[in-house]
Amino acid sequence: MRSLPVGLLLAVTMAVILFLPLGCGDTTTTNATSVKTEPVEVPVAAPEPAPGQPPVEAQEETSPYGAGSTTPQAVGTLIDGLQLKNIRWSDHGNYYRIVFEMATPDGKPVLQVPHAEASINGPSLRVVLGGIRSLGDSPSVTSRENIIGDTMVKSIRRTTESDDQALVYEISLSQPTTYSLAGLGSPGRIIIDINKI
């Protein structure tokens, strides 16, 4: 009769010894002030093609938001240490395209698709470019504001919200509209298509 409680006690003790080191799963806690951080990559330079070979095909991350939306959008992977190399813009008839081109710290094309977020608020489109640590020497990048003068897109202005980890741009529009955000790699670019109404 005494062997049953002793055996049961021995079994429970063995179970505790075996499973105690394994823990109880995720022991992290979440509260209102915790911040979720995404894994951060370092910039990888696009490989140079061998003589006589075509260049490396561009990685593409199309907009998951379709042809146009007014909702906040995000693309790409957070890469720390990027250089904003160039800003280009052009009229494509029924939409206006703005391209932010990234590079490695030494100015070489980036292989990955960089991270960006965009949101529209009235006649202003806010774009946050993550992981930017330096600016290239292109006048479009070094200028605080680029006056476009298009019927839809008035200007592209770097805001004072920018810091050593991200650049924030405000794209001034003549009126609220839909847009799409996409990313390309090799070289790393963020592409914004603003629909003309």
- 63 CB-near residues (< 8 Å, 6+ apart): 73, 75, 180, 181, 182
Give the mean model confidence (pLDDT) for residues 114-140: 93
What pLDDT is attached to residue 68?
79
Task: Measure the CA–CA gap between 95 and 91, rounded to whole angstroms.
Answer: 7
Q: Poorest-confidence range of 58-67, 97-106, 139-148, 160-169?
A: 58-67
- 42 CB-near residues (< 8 Å, 6+ apart): 79, 80, 81
Task: Name the residue ranges covered by the structural domains of the chain.
Answer: 60-195
Task: Measure the CA–CA gap between 169 and 81, rounded to whole angstroms.
Answer: 18
Q: Are 123 and 70 in contact (CB under 8 A)?
A: no
Q: Does pLDDT of 166 surpass 80? A: yes
**Half-sphere exposure of residue 14: CA atoms within 13 angstroms, side-chain side:** 6
* pTM above threshold 0.75: no
For domain 60-195, the CATH class is: mainly beta
pLDDT in tens, 27-82: 433 333 333 445 566 667 666 666 776 665 555 455 544 557 889 999 998 989 99
